Amino acid sequence: MDIKDLTKVESQLMQVLWKLERAFVKEIINELPEPKPAYSTVSTIIRILENKGVIGYEAFGKTHRYYPLITREEYMRHEADKFLGSYFSNSVQDMFSFFVREKKIDLKDAEQLLRMIDKIKD
């Protein structure tokens, strides 16, 4: 599946849909932080997400209940692959080295990650 990139606002709405699983626009708005966006704004963004193929809907008369067509994990994988390719030439080693150098990962965390990797390989 070819997943489209999402804007920050689109991603925020997807986070709500992944949490709720199925929701009407008003329910999505209730989950958003203050100040709450206008109904029409959220509705427009929902239509954009629908056109991008990441959400679907069930019709109930004139209203729709929306649901994600991709999982949070699928989108995280897409974003991680894009990040790794854009900044680290698809090298996990280069990315890992960067985070260690920038002190985002300390030696204890690095050792724990290596143990996790060893478990996955077995």
Could you tell me which of 68, 64, 60, 56 has the C-alpha nearest to residue 39? 64
Asked whether residue 36 is assigned to any structural domain, the reply reads yes
- What is the C-alpha end-to-end distance of the chain, expressed in Å? 29
Could you tell me which of 43, 22, 42 has the C-alpha nearest to residue 33? 42
User: What value does the mean pLDDT take over residues 13-21?
Assistant: 97
Average pLDDT, the chain: 89
Domain range enclosing 38: 8-68
Split at pLDDT 50, 70, 90, the class of 60 is very high
Is the per-residue pLDDT at 90 higher than 90? Answer: no
Residue 39 to residue 42: CA distance in whole angstroms: 5
Domain end residue (candidates: 42, 68, 94): 68
User: What value does the mean pLDDT take over residues 45-72?
Assistant: 95
Is the per-residue pLDDT at 122 higher than 80? Answer: no
User: What value does the mean pLDDT take over residues 89-96?
Assistant: 81
Same domain, 91 and 60: no
Asked whether residue 115 is assigned to any structural domain, the reply reads yes
Domain end residue (candidates: 44, 68, 92): 68
Same domain, 14 and 44: yes
**pTM for the whole thing?**
0.76
Same domain, 64 and 17: yes
CATH value at residue 92: 1.10.4040
Please tell me whether residue 19 adopts helix, strand or coil conformation. Answer: helix
Domain end residue (candidates: 68, 93, 113): 68
Asked whether residue 2 is assigned to any structural domain, the reply reads no
Q: How many domains does the chain have?
A: 2
Q: What is the pLDDT of residue 1?
A: 63
Residue 54 to residue 86: CA distance in whole angstroms: 23
Same domain, 45 and 84: no
Is the per-residue pLDDT at 120 higher than 80? Answer: no
**What ranges make up the beta strands (E) of 1-122?**
55-60, 63-68
